[in-house]
Amino acid sequence: MRSILLAGIAGFSMLTACGSDPGPTAQFGPDPTLPEPKRGLLPNMTIAKPVSWGGELPTVPQGYTIRAIATDLAIPRQTLVLPNGDILVAEGSGGSAPTLTPKDFIAGRIKKLGKSSVKGGDRLTLLRDADGDGAYEGRGIFAGNLNAPYGLAFVNGAIYVANQDALVRFDYRDGQTQASGPPVKVTDLPSALNHHWTKALTVSPDGRLLYVGIGSNSNITERGMAAEVDRAVVWQIDAATGAHKPFATGLRNPTALAFQPGTAQLWAAVNERDEIGPDLVPDYLTSVREGGFYGWPYSYWGQNVDTRVRPQNSQKVASAIRPDYSLGSHVAALGLAFSSPVMGGRFAEGAFVGEHGSWNRKDLAGYKVVFVPFRGGRPAGDPVDFVSGFLKDGKARGRPVGVTLDPRGALIVADDLSNTVWRVTPARVPDQATPD
């Protein structure tokens, strides 16, 4: 049986490698090029084999420096900078959805080849830079025995953690290095199957409301619509009571959430659907409207109907909101952080996006952190590579996930392949300096 499966994987790899893939199309911005859907027996699949950094570092723009501030972690996903400058790292890996077809099984085995072999830590690790030199010599477990923690938020003296099955809270004193007790449950989160298990998290500027991104339970409803109840949504949750309601729907996998500074506007990075070609459908960055519907599963990028969905729903298609900004197809955007003037120059106004990288196109896409410039509060211009070099000679040395702005003047990047947390700073600003 094992030899049959291995032969199937080899055959699948050969078929996908020989598939037609013309290379990445220019799909950035508010009006991406959308080709006709292209379906086949098998999707293209190219996995970047993991390799070590070998003493090298990721590439950052001139005038910036990068250093690893934590290594040998256990699948770091998202980070949170606490008020005293300590950094919390959520480590874990979740999901329990059974495979539906032999194709799913083979695809899962192939995708696994591009992941870290380390087991997820199911914990929060705390990093401390006591002397302000940017080295983060202090490290310890803040809380363990969690269930695939992902999203993190701090508000009103409490740390909130979005596990794959529940939103929980830890009370926090400034400078605390370990949780003083077990977490308090705020509310359960949808966790049946968990095809998309990550639960993104952010908090409203006034601290009253929490927002959780909950991904779909399928690519395109192949598990049936009953499996999609409370899925492909952003929930709004009362931080005090745990009461919740859908805030926006039709977002296939909202993997990162953030409020635009100085506004009450929520934004999301969203991973779109697969298996209709290497250049469909673009992952995107978008403002999120209360009550808004963003297309999944019936349509994509506004009113482009996905004919695979049965039954169709023309009313939902007509109401679908077109996203604000295309990041490109299959880049797998998993991180979002708005910048501020502390990052300097052309990176002072805009959003950093962590792109985990593609698995289902011949020519790899993503595998970097990009900066989307804003002007007048809106995206303006093509994305700029901010942290790259994760790919070398078709092999992956790292895969960025969460990105977090440190208000002292740094970008924190979680890398769940090399199990590293990176820190990027403007070279003209000393690591130990705190802006006035």
Q: Are the CB atoms for 178 and 163 separated by under 8 Å?
A: no
pLDDT for 98 equals: 86
For 431, the token pair is: 């690591």
CA distance linking residue 235 with residue 237, whole number of Å = 6
pLDDT for 344 equals: 93
CATH architecture of the domain formed by 2-426: 6 Propeller (2.120)
Q: Positive or negative CA dihedral for 401, 412, 404, 150?
A: positive
Query: What residues in the chain have per-residue pLDDT under 70?
Result: 1-25, 41-43, 428-436
User: Could you tell me what percent of the chain has a pLDDT over 70?
Assistant: 92
Q: Residue by residue, what is the 3-state secondary structure of 180-211?
A: CCCCEEEEECCCCCCCCCCEEEEECCCCCEEE
What are 335-369's pLDDT values in tens digits?
999 999 999 999 999 999 999 999 988 899 999 99
pLDDT for 25 equals: 55
Q: Are the CB atoms for 90 and 152 separated by under 8 Å?
A: yes
Closest CA to 324 of 353, 359, 346, 361: 353
The full set of domain ranges for the chain reads 2-426
